[in-house]
Structure 1
Amino acid sequence: MAQAVHPKYRAFLVHAQADEVLARTIERGLDDIRVPWALVGRETAHGAVPKSLKPIYRFAAEPTPVAPGEVSPVIPSDPPAGPKPADAAPDSPPAAEPAAATPATAPTLTLVVPPAEDATAATPPVAPAPVVPPEPPALLAPAQPTLPDQTVAALVDSRFLVVLCSPAAAADEAVGDAVRRFKGLGRGDRVIAVLAGGAPEAPEADLCPPSLRFRIKVDGTVGDEREDTIAPLVIDARAGRTPRSEVVGRLAAALLALSFEDYSGPAARAVRRRRRLRGWLSAAAVLLLLAGGAVAAARFVLPHNAPLLGRMLAVGTGTTVGVVDAADRLGAPRPVIASIAEPAEALLRDLGAAGGDDPGLRLRRAAMLLAFEQRYEALGLADAARSRTAAAEALLDGLVFPGGMDVEVQREIVATHLDAAALRLAQGDADRALKSARGALAAAERLADADPASVERQRDLSRAATAVGDALLAQGASEDALKQFRAALGIRETLAALDPAGAPARRDLSVAYERFGDVLASRGSLDEALKGYRTALSLRLAAVDPGAGAGWQRGLSILYNKVGDVQLAQGASEDSIAAYRTGLALQLAVADRADAAARRAMSVSYERIGDVLKAKRAYDEALAAYRASLSIRERLAGGDPGAVRWQRDLPVSHERIGDVLMAKGAFDDALAAYRTTLASRERLAAAAPSPTALRDVSVAQSKIGDALAAKGQRADALASYRAALAISQRLAGLEPDNAKWQWEQTVLQWRLASAGDDPAERFRAVVTTLRDLAAKRKLSAEQAKWLPLAERELAKTQGR
């Protein structure tokens, strides 16, 4: 029998009653294992490394009854004859990996591509369905002993079998029967033997049931041919051999399909991080007490000393942000991080309010609010109203220093405006980002005009010009953005010429070329965009500074992803996937130091790799990449269930997994993935209604229709398509000039018409919409091919 597609249990742990204590210790130890973040998602022979080893199924065999005066049964040196195969037909096997096959007659409802295209070209290659042999008699319960039905079901639904071997286990027929059944499933390579008892010098074979020592015959009984080894992995847990902690560690490594060496290093580092986390949390508690005392002192002792209050704010903000960063890197749950940051922020706000409306304190309070907002954004904890950013912008607006200000204060104003612009841009508010960026640019120009020879002021000016360009590009004003990027490039080329070997100057110049690539890519000038990105990449690689922290790897990986995006758009899939994998490798190298935003970027890299593999029809590899992405996103969403940002990513992963399963012909699994997508998107749309959220619901309904059509469930498919069309028509009515929504409405109408659902009326609607879009020149060359085809179909329905 084949392995279940997604086994419910990571392992089935079987033991005799005499080994109960060790079994419970192992079970608790495996349940408590936290798989190191650096290993999660790594591909192995048994799939991606999971986040947890749970659940484990433990079965304690009942002791063999012994009549009074009898001696316990002796362990046979040869295998028993074993039960005879039953005459009855074997039970139906549990769900196995679906064959990559399509129905003999493809339903018309599955139309996705223009009808003019070759239908076979739109359908992925179909692998012949594997011949599934009858279930081996090994699954048929022998007369004695009989494992409970639920135990047999758990055994079948387990990825590995862990057997505690001891004199008691060797004599226990139930333990032997569990081993016989598991090996009969063709999973002998997934058996792990743990030597749990017996004398240290006792041979291993004497501690094992016959079904572990001997091969299983074709009829499911224990044969007389000895196994080369009792199990692929044997762990000696007898007294004086292997410490209990190492036994659990070696088992964990085996259940993750890793070598002990690959697992033990990251696991030890994770333990050290958790210990440091406890220390940091203790320090955070002390910090809060000290901050509370500082606020009390400020209220009574320092009400008129603005400079000192400003320094206290700066120190308190920096210390709190440092503790929050450390707690996140060490894996603290989001609620724990929030319990550190929120009280500290409240105390610091009270401290800042004690200084009144002093201009210096207003600037410091704005910087503090933005610093907290940046942390919360990175952690996925920011409030939807962006209240901190808005409050900081209000403090910066109209900021005037009556007696003038020194240069450092002016540079701080530039930096604070830039932080506000970056936050607004990340939040998708390009208009407010542009306002803050222009505030930074105005302040930077005044500073640069006062001292043109200052390298620091020129660098500030280039950063401000870049920020203005970023906001303009986000608004779609690519020409105006290009002017700002050119200005920044000119400054940075001058600075790089002054310090040719300086890493900071090279990094700045690299960013300038990267921005040129962004503009060119947005215009569709792919060759020129690729040149810009490659120039940026060469400069960035020449300015690598591993000592600068994890940030440079993340920035470099983003640049590799941009290179991959352009190469993919050019049709160079092999080059693009190489770029994506290089970027991912950089991210994985610092996974243990990655914050939530960096982990999300890692999930995006996996997703892009999956996209390329799916386009190449490497469906199994694509599925593995998508599942690795989903694993990261589930962890992010689980750590902060209230953060919409992470919740939006989950249905994207489920949808892509469904797309691959559809291509593989696993329609039931694809339908389940699409329904998960729909449920998530309906919740998001109900919580925050928007055209984009509604469109996402429509797409999910449409894909459910595709899966139902592929399964031959015509009525249900039509219902899903109609639900999708109703939303699409509503959106098209809101924005009649939105060609994308008009096009999606047309595709749904065509699907319904092809299924015989009022074809005359629906093809008439298709033709009308396509003619309107063609007249407005809003159809691509590929889309334009649909118009004559639609006219032909309409004529057929009218009998012409």
Structure 2
Amino acid sequence: MAQAVHPKYRAFLVHAPADEAWGRTLQRSLEEMRVPWALVGRETAHGPVPKRIGPLARFAAEPPPVAPGEPEPAAVPEPSAAATPTPAEPAAEAAPGAAADAEPPAAAATVAGPTLVSSTDAPVGPAAPPEPPALRAPARPTLPEDMVAALVDARFLVVLCSPAAATDAAVDEAVRRYKGLGRGDRVVAVLVGGAPDADPRTLCPPALRRRIKVDGTVSDEEEDAVAPLVIDARTLPRTEVTMRLAAALLALSFDEFRGPAERSTRGRRRLRGWLTAAAVLLILVGGLVAAVRFVLPNDPMLLDRVLAAGTGTTLRAVDAADRLGASPAVVAGIVAPAEAALRDLAAAGGDDPRLQLRRAAMLIAFERRRDALGLADAARSRTTAAEALLDGLVFPGGMDAEVQREIVAARLDAVRLRLAQGATDRALANARAALAAAERLAGADPTSVARQRELSRAATAFGDALLAAGEADDALKQFRTVLTIRETLLAVDPSSAEARRDLSVAYERLGDVLVVRDAPDEALKGYRTALSLRLSAVDPAAGPGWQRGLSILYNKVGDVQLAQGAGEDALGSYRAGLALQLAVAERADAAARRAMSVSYERIGDVLRAQRAFDEALASYRASLALRQGLAGGDPGGSRWPRDLPVSQERIGDVLMAKGAPDEALAAYQTALAARERLLAAQPGPAARHDVAVTQSKIGDALAARRMGAEALASWRAALAATEQLVAADPDNAAWQWEMAVLQWRLASAGDDPVERYRVVVATLRELAGRRKLTPAQAKWLPLAERALVEARTR
């Protein structure tokens, strides 16, 4: 028995009763430590690096009874905690980004049919002390049964070595048992007692310094080294001891762990500074409200500038808190009072149109930030209120150009919000209004480069809204207009990096619409042109945002390559994108971390298709670890709940392919619980479809476990949900295909096969008549017809 498949404990920590203080300190420090998130998900010899090191198991035998009149043994003082704080990773927040990928094809089931698509100093001498009789033949077991179980279920063994540990039967027994499991390479020795110049072997129990025989007993042959890793806590600061031990338990080198850990510690200090600044900000904003109400009731221009400055300062504080890993509660504690104070401040200006415009811009800015952090309200009340303010703007003296530009900017922000919310109609309305205003501004000054650029951005937003609404042809016209404008702007200033980036975005949008129009070769050409332009216009000084944009573009290239059957090329593109993200991982915000999780997921998709299941599983687990970190203490947040079950389901698919239906079933059931919560919170066809897909996969896993009745029940539940979807949208060919697949599953399992095969045949014939079957799907029609004939003749 080498190692449990999924060990319950990261480590089993064993020590002598005299070293209780050290044991308690190390366990607490390690279990409270947050792994620097830049390391989370990294593949090691012991699996992906987790978010936390715990849980740990710890054991020390009860000290022997003290005879009357004997003094108690002196306790070793607890190590000093005066050094720098234990490194920890900031908790991540929810962030915006593209919707999770469509569900992958289900793993092969055991039932025939088509596929449903969708974790105490003693004297020390130069030689080892003689073994007392208790070590050679203990009178009773030194490890309780529950501790033996924990020892077996631990990935590593940590032994606190001291003069007391060298003669402790329980410590020796734990080491003997652990090494007897064949895990001698997973033992870490921490020297916590004895003189600094003492030979480490004199501090270790016999089982640690000697080899273990085949029969599990301790031999007289000395080990070359007492352990693969020895940490001398007698001469090192506590924080370094903790960091070295943490690195070992994560299967990382100390140098790999130290840099990110120290940066994380500095990040926490910066976070405390930012939170202090945010508290001061709230006090200042509150004071400004009172001051403005008293001093500035008749100066709208000054009030407008104060509002703009207050909004910007608040959002910068929120961004800093997010990057440094503040929890959703902390971020909400910054943004909510500041936003309320600024709203009160704006209300002091009455009905002045410029202040109405400022209020609209404020509402949209706060909505975007809340949406990015997973804190937005489901009703999107801020966006609605902002749109009403923008619709009702009337300037008695007419709007000057600067006001119109601010209105265009606010409308474009609203477009992005509405697209992220899935409110396509509202996005289109905002985009049309923004484009009309931008056209008026550009027409009034056709030689202005700035106004032409603003016009191209408004046209891009309008194209995005059209594409989201399914109007690909009209979107293509808009994007070609944008391309023409931006090519002209680059010709005016060929050295402009901004112009090249803008033109790159235009080519990227062309690629997006060509993918929808099923023109992959042209789309790939557009993406590669965009990539070339983007690479020639990078600006590392601008922060990590350009790497994220590049990585998304690499993912799009990979998506097209994968659709064309070029799996190795796609894998290269996905890995190039991930490498860009990892290069700036320490500066990544929540959106960047979410994009990184998508890259890991896509890499896993390709590896799974190549049947590299172990690598695919590692990639999916890295993606899941990032998403769990982003969800943090807010799993019900508005941005992340769907991503988590998608990751769990992909993990289940790989486990099914690996022939591990028990583990796959657990992953699917976790995904189903999350999706049922989503369906209850936000009923709709997409959520219902997700539930049906997961129920079908649970049925496949149950069938693989030979739990026929339970599998039938799960498939029937999936079928009932899918039939509701088809009834609501009879023209949806994908849902009709899935309904036929589920009917086939049930028929193959002997559940009313004649009637079910009849439905399958009728459905496939109807889809074939409408030319809605892919070539691969069409091959199932004659098989279904043959199955129907055989069922009728039985």
- TM-score with structure 2 setting the length: 0.91
Match of 1:308 in 2: 302
Amino acid at match of 1:378: A
Per-residue deviation, 1:142? 7.3
Change (3 A) 1:207 1:408: same
SS of 1:52's equivalent?
coil
Match of 1:725 in 2: 719
Does 2:206 align with 1:210? yes
Per-residue deviation, 1:359? 1.4
Check the 8 A contact 2:685/2:725 in 1, yes or no: yes
SS of 1:665's equivalent?
coil
Per-residue deviation, 1:69? 12
Amino acid at match of 2:192: A
Match of 1:189 in 2: 185
Per-residue Cα deviation, 1:49-104 (whole angstroms, up to 9, x for no partner): 111111111111234568899999xxxxxxxxxxxxxxxxxxxxxxxxxxxxxxxx
Counterpart of 1:321 (choices 287, 294, 315) is: 315
Amino acid at match of 2:554: Y
Check the 8 A contact 1:14/1:61 in 2, yes or no: no
Per-residue deviation, 1:244? 1.3
Per-residue Cα deviation, 1:385-439 (whole angstroms, up to 9, x for no partner): 1111111111111423221233222211111111111111111222211111111
Per-residue Cα deviation, 1:134-154 (whole angstroms, up to 9, x for no partner): xxxxxxx97644310010011
> RMSD between aligned alpha carbons?
1.9
Does 2:236 align with 1:251? no
Match of 1:82 in 2: none
Per-residue deviation, 1:110? 5.4
SS of 1:644's equivalent?
coil
Counterpart of 1:506 (choices 482, 500, 503) is: 500
- TM-score with structure 1 setting the length: 0.90
Counterpart of 1:146 (choices 127, 142, 147) is: 142
Match of 1:156 in 2: 152
Counterpart of 1:228 (choices 224, 227, 233) is: 224
Match of 1:84 in 2: none
Whole-angstrom CA distance in 1 between matches of 2:267 and 2:115: 51
Check the 8 A contact 1:41/1:628 in 2, yes or no: yes
Check the 8 A contact 2:371/2:638 in 1, yes or no: no
Whole-angstrom CA distance in 1 between matches of 2:527 and 2:495: 21
Check the 8 A contact 2:590/2:630 in 1, yes or no: yes
Change (3 A) 1:355 1:214: same
Check the 8 A contact 1:306/1:358 in 2, yes or no: yes
Whole-angstrom CA distance in 2 between matches of 1:175 and 1:66: 20
Check the 8 A contact 2:562/2:570 in 1, yes or no: yes
Q: Which moved more, 1:627-636 or 1:337-346?
A: 627-636
Match of 2:522 in 1: 528
SS of 1:242's equivalent?
coil
Amino acid at match of 2:14: V
Per-residue deviation, 1:113? 4.2
Q: Which moved more, 1:766-775 or 1:445-454?
A: 766-775
Using the aligned pairs only, state the percent identity: 74
Amino acid at match of 1:789: L
Whole-angstrom CA distance in 1 between matches of 2:598 and 2:624: 10
Check the 8 A contact 1:380/1:596 in 2, yes or no: no
Check the 8 A contact 2:17/2:62 in 1, yes or no: yes
SS of 1:58's equivalent?
strand
Does 2:792 align with 1:798? yes
Whole-angstrom CA distance in 2 between matches of 1:303 and 1:322: 27
Whole-angstrom CA distance in 2 between matches of 1:661 and 1:781: 28
- Structure 2 residues without counterparts, runs of 5 or longer: 73-107, 118-136
Whole-angstrom CA distance in 1 between matches of 2:71 and 2:331: 62
Whole-angstrom CA distance in 2 between matches of 1:798 and 1:11: 60
SS of 2:640's equivalent?
helix
Match of 1:35 in 2: 35
Match of 2:61 in 1: 61
SS of 1:640's equivalent?
coil
Per-residue Cα deviation, 1:579-633 (whole angstroms, up to 9, x for no partner): 1111112222222332322222211111111111110111111111111111111
Per-residue deviation, 1:566? 0.6
Check the 8 A contact 2:176/2:208 in 1, yes or no: yes
Check the 8 A contact 2:656/2:701 in 1, yes or no: yes
Amino acid at match of 2:472: S
- Structure 1 residues without counterparts, runs of 5 or longer: 73-105, 115-121, 123-140
Amino acid at match of 1:219: D
Match of 2:693 in 1: 699
| Match runs of 1:3-152 below 5 Å | 3-63=3-63, 109=111, 111-113=113-115, 144-152=140-148
Q: Which moved more, 1:728-737 or 1:638-647?
A: 638-647
Check the 8 A contact 1:694/1:727 in 2, yes or no: yes
Per-residue deviation, 1:647? 1.3
Per-residue deviation, 1:32? 2.4
Whole-angstrom CA distance in 2 between matches of 1:790 and 1:110: 11
Whole-angstrom CA distance in 2 between matches of 1:506 and 1:113: 45
Per-residue deviation, 1:570? 0.9
| Match runs of 1:531-610 below 5 Å | 531-610=525-604
Whole-angstrom CA distance in 1 between matches of 2:496 and 2:110: 63
Check the 8 A contact 2:649/2:667 in 1, yes or no: yes
Match of 1:787 in 2: 781
Change (3 A) 1:356 1:208: same
Counterpart of 1:418 (choices 390, 412, 430) is: 412
Change (3 A) 1:107 1:575: closer
Check the 8 A contact 1:380/1:597 in 2, yes or no: no
Per-residue deviation, 1:19? 1.0
Per-residue Cα deviation, 1:23-49 (whole angstroms, up to 9, x for no partner): 222122212212111111111111111
Match of 1:297 in 2: 291
SS of 1:557's equivalent?
helix
Counterpart of 1:405 (choices 374, 396, 399) is: 399
Whole-angstrom CA distance in 2 between matches of 1:540 and 1:142: 71
SS of 2:447's equivalent?
coil
Match of 1:363 in 2: 357
Per-residue Cα deviation, 1:225-248 (whole angstroms, up to 9, x for no partner): 21111000001112xx11111111
Counterpart of 1:753 (choices 747, 766, 769) is: 747
Counterpart of 1:682 (choices 660, 676, 679) is: 676
Check the 8 A contact 2:112/2:748 in 1, yes or no: no
Change (3 A) 1:110 1:205: farther
Whole-angstrom CA distance in 2 between matches of 1:58 and 1:269: 29
Per-residue deviation, 1:644? 3.5
Whole-angstrom CA distance in 1 between matches of 2:180 and 2:341: 65
Per-residue Cα deviation, 1:260-303 (whole angstroms, up to 9, x for no partner): 11111111111111111111111111111111111112222222
Check the 8 A contact 1:421/1:434 in 2, yes or no: yes
Per-residue Cα deviation, 1:296-349 (whole angstroms, up to 9, x for no partner): 122222222111111111000000000000011111111000011001001111
Amino acid at match of 1:686: A
Does 2:617 align with 1:615? no
Does 2:331 align with 1:337? yes
Per-residue deviation, 1:112? 4.0
Whole-angstrom CA distance in 2 between matches of 1:357 and 1:398: 11
Amino acid at match of 1:22: W
Check the 8 A contact 1:493/1:509 in 2, yes or no: yes
Check the 8 A contact 1:695/1:731 in 2, yes or no: yes
Amino acid at match of 1:109: V
Whole-angstrom CA distance in 1 between matches of 2:7 and 2:713: 33
SS of 1:225's equivalent?
strand
Counterpart of 2:173 (choices 172, 177, 181) is: 177
The structure whose RCO (Cα within 8 Å, separation 6+) is larger is 2
Check the 8 A contact 2:138/2:169 in 1, yes or no: no
Amino acid at match of 1:442: A
Match of 1:78 in 2: none
Per-residue deviation, 1:487? 0.8
The alignment covers a number of residue pairs equal to 740
Whole-angstrom CA distance in 1 between matches of 2:655 and 2:676: 22
Per-residue Cα deviation, 1:684-730 (whole angstroms, up to 9, x for no partner): 11121111111111111111110111111111111111111111111
Whole-angstrom CA distance in 1 between matches of 2:109 and 2:627: 35
Check the 8 A contact 2:30/2:246 in 1, yes or no: yes
